[in-house]
Chain A
Amino acid sequence: MTVEASRPEIEVRGLHKSFGTNEVLKGIDLEIGQGEVVCVIGPSGSGKSTLLRCVNLLEEPTKGQVFVGGTELTDPDVDIDAVRRRIGMVFQQFNLFPHLTVTENLTLPQRRVLRRGKAQAAKVAAENLERVGLAEKADAYPASLSGGQQQRVAIARSLSMGPEVMLFDEPTSALDPELVGDVLAVMRMLAREGMTMMVVTHEMTFAREVADRVVFMDGGVIVEDGTPARVIGAPSHERTRHFLSRLLDPAMADVEENGGGDDS
């Protein structure tokens, strides 16, 4: 896919993030163009989720800048709620609102945040439920849905706000294996439609087939950044090779002295 827009949709400059004395991100520079799909991979504790959460400022960066659509989120005076409306976020644990029905999950944010009228909110909600293939669950409560269905509702909820960018934080990691496919199919559809997407994931097949770029992170830095064919197909760093071999064939891994990743 070619990137036509001159300015990147997401731009991260010199990003550092520490939790207490634990430095999780050690200087990240990353640009994601309009319509680009970037998968971020890496061992647990590598800082990939923290990086994603810094992009919509759910985590406050210690140092550095984050721009989305040309607006600097790290500016202390920015209207963060206004910027976040343009950034959809999908969580590992879905985080649907359990006290609301599926439709209400989609309409309440539109009405409260975007001040849309009742009829318009309902219309947008119905359209997006249709897109993720869950129109028949409109009146169900989240607890009665499978994990895969809940995640698709969560995606539809984000889409109802009309975001320019979608962030996915391990969207399939909490799902039973047979439910992963439905969620990935929705994400593939979004990618085809030209949505700018940043996806933290362990789904290598998805990364290989859908992503324009794959970013491999380890120890709080970006180790490798390139096309899926390069990063997954022919990694140039030993750390990437090591991670991929453990991921693709976990049964063949040896017992390691320090337990692999840098979870502290």
Chain B
Amino acid sequence: MTAADTQLQPRKKGLTRRQKRGLSRGIQYAVFVAAVIAFAVSADWGRLKNQFAQADIAGQMFPEVITLALKNTVLYTLSGFVVGLVLGMVIALMRLSSVGPYRWLAGIYIEIFRGLPALLIFIFIGVAVPLAFPGTEIIGGTYGKVALALGLVAAAYMAETIRAGIQAVPKGQLEAARSLGFSPARAMVSIIIPQAFRIILPPLTNELVLLFKDSSLVLFLGVTLEERELSKYGRDLASTTANSTPILVAGLCYLLVTIPLGFVVRRMEAKAQEAVK
């Protein structure tokens, strides 16, 4: 009798669920604190400070780091973005075309330029194009070259994003437009593309952040003093002062732009999520 009663209520062995959860959390915090302490103790802060955080060197960089370097970075990025957007749109439409060769060509373009490191494309633009077409000058000098190189890379990614955006617009939208008498082209321009852009605004902004960083590759085109952007400017100054503080400052300048942009992207994504609900 009594034996049967105790079997109905089996005795718990070891920790309860709540205790296990507490223990697991405790271990995670302990590992984190240990890692921070180990890092803080092992790094040579004095030397780091000497090499990366010289206030007077940082002070020397202003205002040029903003008025010249950051300005050029932004200029390169925006011009590349515009070229990429226009080219990407054309390639996306080609990819959706009913004409086979257009689709293949767009597919090949996307595969090639998505697969190549941006660095190689910069070298190609800087070296191969002048070789292949001697005497021709890419319009806009360095600015034109950067816009072209960045645009070529960005177009491949943007084409896929734009295509996905166009295909994400419900089929009924095109049907409604066509039944109202819109031609396919006019329906695309007036009805489909505006809706597609709403959908792809967050990924496009992400692409802008990527381009912003890739603009540092302009280094490999060879630029004049006036054409230097953040990375080149920081590196040049680092070698003249024999100190790495300019690198840190240049890095902070990048973050100054990319972090707010990332914030904007998350806001847009959250808003898009809400609109779906």
A positions within 8 Å CB-CB of B: 56, 58, 81-82, 84-85, 87-89, 91, 93, 95-99, 108-109, 112-114, 143, 154, 157-158, 161
A154 to B172, CA, bound (A): 12
A120 to B176, CA, bound (A): 22
- Contact (A84, B190) CB under 8 Å given A97-B173, A99-B195: no
- Contact (A81, B182) CB under 8 Å given A97-B173, A98-B195: yes
Closest to B275 in A: A143
A113 to B175, CA, bound (A): 15
- What 8 A-B pairs are tightest by C-beta distance, nearest first? A95-B176, A85-B181, A89-B179, A95-B172, A109-B180, A113-B181, A84-B181, A81-B181
* A residues in contact with B194, CB < 8 Å: 99
Q: Among residues 147 to 172 in chain B, which have CB atoms less than 8 Å away from a CB atom of chain A?
A: 170, 172
Q: Is B138 part of the binding interface, using a Cβ–Cβ cutoff of 8 Å?
A: no
CB <8 Å contact, B190 and A108:
yes
* B residues in contact with A82, CB < 8 Å: 181
CB distance from A118 to the nearest CB of B (A): 15
- Contact (A113, B173) CB under 8 Å given A85-B181, A157-B180, A158-B180: no
CB <8 Å contact, A109 and B195:
no
Q: Can you give 9 A-B contacts (C-beta < 8 A)?
A: A84-B178, A85-B181, A87-B179, A93-B172, A95-B170, A97-B173, A97-B191, A109-B181, A109-B182
Q: Among residues 178 to 197 in chain B, which have CB atoms less than 8 Å away from a CB atom of chain A?
A: 178-183, 186, 190-191, 194-195
Q: Is B266 part of the binding interface, using a Cβ–Cβ cutoff of 8 Å?
A: no
A96 to B177, CA, bound (A): 9
A113 to B190, CA, bound (A): 11
Q: Is B198 part of the binding interface, using a Cβ–Cβ cutoff of 8 Å?
A: yes
CB distance from B176 to the nearest CB of A (A): 4
CB <8 Å contact, A56 and B190:
no
A112 to B179, CA, bound (A): 13
A42 to B191, CA, bound (A): 33
A108 to B275, CA, bound (A): 23
Q: Among residues 14 to 42 in chain B, which have CB atoms less than 8 Å away from a CB atom of chain A?
A: none
CB distance from B200 to the nearest CB of A (A): 13
CB distance from A222 to the nearest CB of B (A): 23
* B residues in contact with A87, CB < 8 Å: 179
Q: Among residues 32 to 76 in chain B, which have CB atoms less than 8 Å away from a CB atom of chain A?
A: none
A113 to B185, CA, bound (A): 12
* B residues in contact with A91, CB < 8 Å: 172, 175-176
A99 to B275, CA, bound (A): 12
A104 to B183, CA, bound (A): 18
CB <8 Å contact, B176 and A84:
no
* B residues in contact with A89, CB < 8 Å: 176, 179-180
CB <8 Å contact, A113 and B186:
yes
* A residues in contact with B175, CB < 8 Å: 58, 91, 95
Among B173, B181, B190, the one with the most A-chain Cβ atoms within 10 Å of its Cβ is B181
A91 to B175, CA, bound (A): 9
CB distance from A198 to the nearest CB of B (A): 13
20 new A-B contacts at CB < 8 Å, known A89-B176, A89-B179 = A56-B179, A58-B175, A58-B178, A82-B181, A84-B180, A91-B175, A93-B170, A95-B173, A95-B175, A97-B173, A97-B177, A97-B191, A99-B195, A109-B177, A112-B182, A113-B181, A113-B182, A154-B176, A158-B180, A161-B180
